[in-house]
A = this chain, B = another copy of it.
Amino acid sequence: MKQLHKQSHTNQRRDEEMPNNQTPPYSPKSYKHSSSRRPLNYLFNEQRFLFIIIGMMIGSMIFIFQPSLSAITATTTTTNYHINSHIMPSMPRSISISHRERTAFNPRPTGRVPVGITRRRMRTVVTGGAGFVGSHLVDVLMARGDEVIVIDNFFTGRKDNVAHHLDNPRFELIRHDVVQPILLEVDQIYHLACPASPVHYKYNPIKTIKTNVIGTLNMLGLAKRINARFLITSTSEVYGDPLEHPQKESYWGHVNPIGVRSCYDEGKRTAETLTMDYSRNEGVEVRIARIFNTYGPRMCLDDGRVVSNFVSQALRKQPMTIYGDGKQTRSFQYVSDLVDGLIALMEGEHIGPFNLGNPREFTMLELAQVVKETIDPNATTEFRRNTADDPQKRKPDISKAKQLLNWEPKIQLQDGLPRMALDFKNRILKEEQGDIDK
């Protein structure tokens, strides 16, 4: 419309100029004046510059008093950016545009690929894909041939975790915080973005809630808009300090709403609520996984989670710290088992929630023993006071996942721990070398 306006006025201007030019038709001076004088003079004569300024002010006013206009344009710009950068290498640009238009005008399309274009590969986004679990999930999705987009703000994740995919044209890494909305065209959304260990989620509890609630709202909104299937990684922490043992999915939990860990527990519970509400009210296809303690390569070295603590302490020849009396139990699942479970859940028919964890329980004392056996027979232990709200025991009942997803964990702690220790050893070595290099 602006374009139209401009053109019509340009014509008008020409029409009105003609009589003027005709009045002194043969004066070289007036001729020079009307078209061939120096551009700067031309600009500053006849108040032209003043009128540019007036125009700028009018233009600005429109945006000041209609800020939404600017928001619209900004969003459109972002959309273009993301779509342009995420279209498959094999797709011509024009398709990506028609794609966007379809989304804009028809909010619930029935498929992701416009009519006439053969669907080639599954397009998957993994939020938090540069983190521990996310990066292992990405490995499997890449191996099966997906186009994978990772969204991560690198709060706890590391580029290193996905560095081996950066050269692959099917892979893309976007630095983005899920607390901000994003527009993408994908078939599946694995929504993992959220710090997982107490030391990280307590660091900025308000941000943790924003990530869980606003971040999940944004990704569910995206799923609805593009008709993608959405999986959220919730946590066994929704059971809190459980009064039932082991925990079934039907257990409502026993959670302190106002404690120092509540930002995570309540944030995840509300994220589950939102997920169910989008399923019930907006028809979004959702999946909910409740993940129990997971370990493996690429875990943070010093995130305060007990397995990583013990292993890195043992490798560094420090005593392993046991909080409380060490009789509280945990179940530990190896990360490849979890990834299998997440994919089975996403591809299956059932919403969940599903417990994904290893029901085999260890006390902290037993865990320390396995670390001794598999990593360093000379490792020692040290006891400290327990932190507030630390749940005393947690063990999944996984019969629902066994029955409906045909899934169960396969890797034993004795097998998984050495694989993790190898990775930790390399990273601790690198770290120490880094220190020496400095």
Contact = CB atoms under 8 A, between A and B. Distances in A.
Contact of A257 (B45, B214, B238): B238
Contacts of A256: 252
Given A9-B49, A52-B51, A257-B252, A266 B269 contact: yes
Contacts of A71: 67, 70-71
Contact of A276 (B56, B77, B238, B258): B258
Interface stretch (A58-66, A307-315, A370-378, A401-409): A58-66
A85 interface: no
Q: How large is the interface on A (under 10, 10 to 19, 20 to 34, 35 or more residues)?
A: 35 or more
Given A55-B51, A58-B59, A60-B62, A257 B262 contact: no
A6 interface: yes
A58 to B, nearest CB: 5
Interface in A198-219: 204-206, 209-210, 213-214, 217
Given A64-B70, A252-B254, A252-B255, A206 B57 contact: no
Chain A binding surface SS class: helix
A166 interface: no
A20 to B, nearest CB: 6
A253 to B, nearest CB: 7
Number of copies: 2
B252 A272 contact: no
A353 interface: yes
A266 B262 contact: no
A12 B49 contact: yes
A70 B59 contact: no
Contact of A60 (B44, B63, B209, B276): B63
Contact of A56 (B20, B58, B260, B262): B58
Interface stretch (A277-285, A360-368, A424-432): A277-285
A353 B262 CA distance: 15
B273 A266 contact: yes
A309 B266 CA distance: 33
A41 interface: yes
A50 B6 CA distance: 8
Nearest to A10: B50
Interface string A276-308: 111011100000100000000000000000000
A164 interface: no
Contacts of A57: 2, 6, 55, 59
B58 A67 contact: no
A1 to B, nearest CB: 12
A118 interface: no
B238 A263 contact: no
A144 to B, nearest CB: 30
B45 A353 contact: no
A44 B13 CA distance: 6
A203 to B, nearest CB: 10
Nearest to A46: B46
A39 to B, nearest CB: 13
A51 B63 CA distance: 19
Nearest to A5: B53
Contacts of A205: 273, 277, 280-281
A107 to B, nearest CB: 15
Interface centre among A6, A17, A258, A266 (most CB of B within 10 A): A258
B277 A263 contact: yes
Contact of A209 (B5, B41, B70, B274): B274
Contacts of A353: 258
16 contacts: A9-B49, A9-B50, A10-B53, A13-B44, A17-B47, A46-B48, A60-B62, A64-B70, A64-B77, A67-B70, A209-B217, A213-B270, A238-B257, A252-B255, A267-B273, A269-B269
